[in-house]
Structure 1
């Protein structure tokens, strides 16, 4: 049976040829897509499905001859090979750092020059690379274009989705030799290892505080710049950190006096008494007022007036 014939099987499940033992993959008649039987993801070309299946099988047929690192795609191996000495022909004349692509060198040179030609129209933040600006804009739009077909979780970054998909397949090939923790990619493993080594290579130029990851430093710098890129769509209040916006969204009852948020309206009403200095709870014996019902009850138990005013039996 020819390979061409295998490519046009249209049954719902994968079919194995009894003569060649070659397993075919589904090609649906609607849309002519090749669908993965494990996660339901579809592809326009059979070759793309074949590469995708390596996520589930763990197959990494392309290995680096220098360090042994394996990859699912030949293109990934080619990009990796440029990281080895002699494969990065574009060299910065200021710091001698080398790059595999000319565009990467140009972006790097802008950092030396302090040139940031790409400006965010919403918050005024500047970037050395156009791709960095595009990535930044997703903070304002909350755009999460990359969706996991298995569980529906969405991501703003394609690489984050790839790492997430690996967790479904149980593929975490990068293991920490200190504690055995596994990571979905080499970069995450390097960041994790700094917990054990204590290395914090990213230092804030303004206050000297150091961080294990570059992203943590970038987030920290907002304290100094005053940048608040996370804006509430409901009240337009801005936040420095995404976690603060999430907390704000989850606590929808806002105090207009101090902007503090609360999960329940009763919590907000109790809080407002602090501003008004209201004391709605009165002792019927001595007339003393209290902000809290619990304080009044405690007062009534120990109040001297209760002992002096109540008749003894």
Structure 2
């Protein structure tokens, strides 16, 4: 067997003319650097070699990637310029000049980043002495925003002065102060860069495209998080158990849900006293109390309180069964249903998956029958009333159960795929 290091590290062909990956091109960039930047998921070694055809292909890929990054930078600069021009007149100073970032604001941002984790952040003697100095008059060519105190409505020409005012006059901590307000909604932020990221969501320009599935994202951060799901490397490990996660946010959520005492969970429902570790869970729960169903199915107009429930419902309109059991011929639309099947029938993952404790809570008032689900009871009641609401789309025959229509279509009309039932 030949040594793989004598072959091209890309195509694995044994060609006489092989280049060392340490080779530098005319722009001063090594082949190894191009490989690492183009395909970072693979561990490239200095001992690797690459043939001339693959070297040419790598140069094309690297040039294309660099050109995309360059155009993305120019595009973002143009968007920032447009956002500056779109700021309302009420937010402009008398000289008519505006900007989202000043030198003072950059200092505040750096300061806030350094003290982000410290809830008891306060002003030291040096900072207090600086605050007592006479405020500097902005240069004529320096752009600035009006910063308004949320407590008393006083306006300041820089975020530094506003922070000084809030800490000294209102006894607020640095983390409580959010000088940068969005002009399109009521959201506020501690620094200008977070505000700029937020504004991108108002513009809703999905210019960051996933290289794996083509889905567009508003910010590059969202794209990076999404692409980590495709790679599924699970590089964020939990120190308390063996589980790994694709993003730091997923790891943080896992620690809150699994390894944190429920009594210390931050979000508390005042109606039923239930606690939640994550705000999105709390918001979804509160919509159940209020009856707010803002997620609507565009096929049947059913409404849901939670987006994930809507996504699960959408699978009922499809006959695609992507989740297949490796031990039998069963196929399922939902991954969790497959996991329950594996645990109940094959005894696999029974210590991981929590099997539902099903109880027949829906009783027929005419006969002794009882059912696990309300929709099953509703279908049963059709047998007592004689009502047949499910119509075959191919003929005039009617049925009291949707499953009977599917059987009828298969046997009478030789149609196996799902057909919209009326």
TM range (shorter): 0.3 to 0.5
- Provide the TM-score with structure 1 as the length reference: 0.44
Higher RCO, 1 vs 2 (CA within 8 Å, ≥6 residues apart) = 1
